Structure 1
Amino acid sequence: MEKDVLNALRKSWSIQSSSKWSVDSPAKGQCGVTSLVVQDILGGEIRKTFLEEGWHFYNIINGERKDFSEEQFPYLIDYQDIDSNRVEAFQDTNDSQYRYLKTQVYKLLGKAEN
């Protein structure tokens, strides 16, 4: 299921899901919105790590770190696994971007939105 979610995310990331998106780096700026949609689908917790670019959000699912947007960085991340939540992750996105990404991913997965 995680692989299916990652494939759906990669097909869905666009300028409509992050203003930092580019053809060269589709995952750029997608961490907050992605962590929210991943939590909607797979559950788990949201964590964050501070990087040069600012806060980076990702998920902990069944005790394992899952960073679906890590490919945006050209270096290995030194994860700090700081507790976070939906409110903090949402500060990295907006309702329009979140709704767009969630709708696209759910459509590709053949799931009904909850």
Structure 2
Amino acid sequence: GYVNIVDRKKDMILSGGENIFSTEVENVLYMHPKILEAAVFGVPDETWGEAVKAAVVLKPHETGTQEEIVKFCKIHLASYKAPKSIDFIEALPKTGSGKIFKKGLRDPFWKGKRRV
């Protein structure tokens, strides 16, 4: 048999009993012609446990809307995997080694809450 490692467990989003791998959603976001960088993470959701949220940096001189990007994602992913909300930011936080610091994006939403 084979073992395929898709994502870090802490980066997996559990929404309505479905496992959603953040890297799968990020790969689709990177296919969008206006997106330069993207990070996907789970945020608390009263109904589903966690909801998919994305933070994106658009390419210079590009504009985009949440609706446009969510629609694009739903073409390439099952609809439950598409981000429920998108933050457009100037730059993603990075670690000293240059990797995207997802914990810094995710933690403010979980303050005072517990991930299951």
Structures share a fold, TM > 0.5? no
When Rg is computed on C-alpha atoms for both structures, the one with the higher figure is 2
More strand by share: 2
TM-score by length of 2: 0.31
TM-score by length of 1: 0.31
